[in-house]
Amino acid sequence: MLTFAVVTPGLDLQSSFLELLEGLGLSQGLAQLLWLPLPMLTVLVAAVVGVLVNVWLERKISAAVQQRIGPEYAGALGVLQPMADGLKLLFKEDIIPAKADGLLFTLGPVLVLVPVILSWLVVPFGQNLLISNVGVGVFLWIALSSIQPIGLLMSGYSSNNKYSLLGGLRAAAQSISYEIPLALSVLAIVMMSNSLSTVDIVNQQTGAGILSWNIWRQPVGFLIFWICALAECERLPFDLPEAEEELVAGYQTEYSGMKFALFYLGSYINLVLSALLVSVLYLGGWSFPIPVEWLAHLIGQSVEAPLVQVITGSLGIVMTVLKAYLLVFFAILLRWTVPRVRIDQLLDLGWKFLLPVALVNLLITAALKLAFPAAFGG
Amino acid sequence: MFGFLKKVGDYTQDAVGAAKYITQGLGVTFDHLRRRPITVQYPYEKLIPSERYRGRIHYEFDKCIACEVCVRVCPINLPVVDWVMNKATKKKELRNYSIDFGVCIFCGNCVEYCPTNCLSMTEEYELAAFDRHSLNYDNIALGRLPTSVTSDPSVQPLRELAYLPKGVMDPHGVASTAPRVGRLPEQVLETLVQNAAAAPAATPSRADAPGAPDPADSAAANDA
């Protein structure tokens, strides 16, 4: 708890913006109303741009791993290729199969995408650089991510196609089984930081730079969380719900045009989100490997100085994104390294390996917290 | 109690082993990241087909004697030879000749058996068409020569792996004059001739031995 005292308030854009508007003579309520859409729009744009970057990285890294070149002619190094892909999907005909349930068929992809975007609510890029510092941050994310399988099941069932149904069922089974070890490994982190808030979890890791990151205290939890996050995102080696060799495209089989794009967007936003949360929970979030307070002290600047605040704020954003994309790179590399598991192996890994290990990890964390409260957040 | 501990130990060992193998695999894929692409950027770069490539068939109308051997040796009797007997000259008069490349399997039998060599294989392989009937080539279309990959200014020709100099794996930037690995048939022939010329002078005692060595054998012996 002592570490909390040295944590600086950091860049607070909201209060500065409100002060500015109130200085211009607007009422407090109006200023608040004008502020509200700004962070939401920013995060929405950030999420979509994140997906574009992700798709480009996926294509380029996959190409490099297979000794190909990958997209090359759409923009420099093919950076515009994801835009072209998106534009193509936008212009394609939106088909609802004749015997499908139109309402559920349309609702499915929406129900998959919306919770993922909502989860960005709790992703912090700095002390005050998030939409809302809700007290139950991580819990909110876990709760939202469990809405997703309903959407997948819905779209799989309403497609009126055996492959879609199988894919939907697999997706639901996979998401539900991997949510438990995921939640348990998050619980160990929460136990150490005494808070569900993502901001508090990062602040608890800022004491001594890279050494105070949770990955050193929770190496097993980190691995479990990452494996479960990959399974939740349906990334290889856990992409059984859309295993193209056996299920055509799983629950996406009957989808085309923008509805398919929603699934596509959802899965990539989810991947970026998972990577961001791994960096928040285990890799110190926005914190630099060397505490910025030390660096500021070294060059004789106050952490409160406006310029230093702006620099540390941008450094925080850069660090968060960098850590997240490092994990995304790792996920892509993993995709071309490991083969897909069978459905029984998948459930075996989830229930018979990750779940007990996550439980043991939680118990050991609790014991260590009682034994060494200083090191494990007493 | 200890049975349980042994189980846990085995399980841990399994997990550690799996982690080790996955790390090894990641090492392999990571290593591939720094390797150069091995792909040919097709419309801009093209591989030079080998000299024995069996591409679209070329046909010379004026050489053809309408003997229909090509039809008889074709697995599906594909070539259409349209001729009439000129009663006055008592000779076949060829009117049309066509091969449908949508059906042809490029086995090369017609080329092999053509008595006047009016049929030959080209290196053309880009036969995509919007309509399959446009693949039915008549004697005019069959008589066209394809654009050679090496003479097309919009294409960078690349050599296939077997045609690269010794030890070279990447066809990019290899000079067109650089010799391919191994010796060409005419080079082999040249050494054979040289050896045959040198053999009687160098080893006169072996020349009168029963069953004088074949020049090819001595060349092979000299090579080894």
- The larger pLDDT score, comparing residue A29 to residue A278, is at A278
pLDDT for the residue numbered A11: 64
Using a CB–CB cutoff of 8 Å, tell me whether B87 touches chain A.
no
pLDDT for the residue numbered A326: 92
Distance of CA B175 to the CA centre of its chain: 21
What percent of chain B lies above the pLDDT cut of 70? 88
Using a CB–CB cutoff of 8 Å, tell me whether A46 touches chain B.
no
Say yes or no to pLDDT of A133 above 80: no
Report which of B80, B83, B104, B81 is spatially closest to residue B92, judged by C-alpha positions. B83
Using a CB–CB cutoff of 8 Å, tell me whether B162 touches chain A.
no
Question: pLDDT tier at A9 (50, 70, 90 boundaries)?
Answer: low
- The larger pLDDT score, comparing residue A96 to residue B209, is at A96
From chain B, pick out residues whose CB is under 8 angstroms from the CB of A64.
Answer: 32-33, 37
CA-based angle A291:A130:A296, to the nearest 5? 20
| B66-81: average pLDDT | 92
From chain B, pick out residues whose CB is under 8 angstroms from the CB of A334.
Answer: 22, 26
Q: What is the distance between the alpha carbons of residues B83 and B70, in angstroms, rounded to a whole number?
A: 14
pLDDT for the residue numbered B202: 55
- Window 333-352 of A: residues touching B by CB (8 A cutoff) are 333-334, 336-338
Of the listed ranges A246-255, B155-164, B198-207, the one predicted with least confidence: B198-207
Q: What is the dihedral of CA B16, B17, B18, B21, to 10 degrees?
A: 120
Distance from CA of B37 to the nearest CA of A (A): 4
Out of B22, B29, B41, the one facing A65 most closely (by C-beta) is B29
> Which structure tokens are listed for B151?
């003479």
Report which of A190, A150, A118, A170 is spatially closest to residue A365, judged by C-alpha positions. A190
Say yes or no to pLDDT of A1 above 80: no
Distance from CA of A338 to the nearest CA of B (A): 7
From chain A, pick out residues whose CB is under 8 angstroms from the CB of B29.
Answer: 65, 333, 336-337
Top residue of A57, A60, A65, A220 to mutate, by most chain B CBs within 10 Å, is A65
Using a CB–CB cutoff of 8 Å, tell me whether B169 touches chain A.
no
3-state secondary structure B37-86: CCCCCCCCEEECCCCCCCCCEEECHHHCCCCCHHHHHCCCCCCEEEEEEE
| A311-339: average pLDDT | 88
Say yes or no to pLDDT of A2 above 60: no
A348-374 pLDDT tens trace: 888 888 998 899 999 998 898 888 887
Using a CB–CB cutoff of 8 Å, tell me whether B39 touches chain A.
yes
pLDDT for the residue numbered A328: 92
- The larger pLDDT score, comparing residue B71 to residue B206, is at B71
| Cβ <8 Å between A64 and B32 | yes
| B66-87: average pLDDT | 92
Distance from CA of A177 to the nearest CA of B (A): 19
Say yes or no to pLDDT of A303 above 80: no
| Cβ <8 Å between B32 and A337 | no
Amino acid letter, B119: L
| Cβ <8 Å between B30 and A333 | yes
Considering chain B, what is the average pLDDT of its residues?
85
Distance from CA of A84 to the nearest CA of B (A): 20
From chain A, pick out residues whose CB is under 8 angstroms from the CB of B11.
Answer: 353
pLDDT for the residue numbered A26: 77
Using a CB–CB cutoff of 8 Å, tell me whether A326 touches chain B.
no
| B66-95: average pLDDT | 92
| B102-127: average pLDDT | 92
pLDDT for the residue numbered B166: 86
pLDDT for the residue numbered B203: 54
Say yes or no to pLDDT of A309 above 50: yes
Using DSSP's 3-state secondary structure scheme, residue B100 falls into strand
| Cβ <8 Å between B33 and A337 | no
**Bond from prior residue into A149 cis (ω within 30 degrees of 0):** no
Using a CB–CB cutoff of 8 Å, tell me whether B182 touches chain A.
no
pLDDT for the residue numbered B24: 92
Distance from CA of B46 to the nearest CA of A (A): 16
Say yes or no to pLDDT of A80 above 80: yes
| B152-177: average pLDDT | 85
| pTM (predicted TM-score) | 0.78
pLDDT for the residue numbered B201: 61
Using a CB–CB cutoff of 8 Å, tell me whether A73 touches chain B.
no
| A119-144: average pLDDT | 83
| Cβ <8 Å between B25 and A337 | yes
B183-224 pLDDT tens trace: 888 889 999 999 998 876 655 554 444 444 444 444 444 443
In sequence order, what are the beta bridge partners of B45? B156
| A70-86: average pLDDT | 86
| A226-234: average pLDDT | 89
| B154-161: average pLDDT | 88
Report which of A338, A333, A340 is spatially closest to residue A62, judged by C-alpha positions. A333
pLDDT for the residue numbered B219: 45
Of the listed ranges A295-304, B72-81, B201-210, the one predicted with least confidence: B201-210
A153-188 pLDDT tens trace: 999 899 888 888 888 888 888 888 899 999 999 999
| A131-136: average pLDDT | 78
| Cβ <8 Å between A338 and B25 | yes
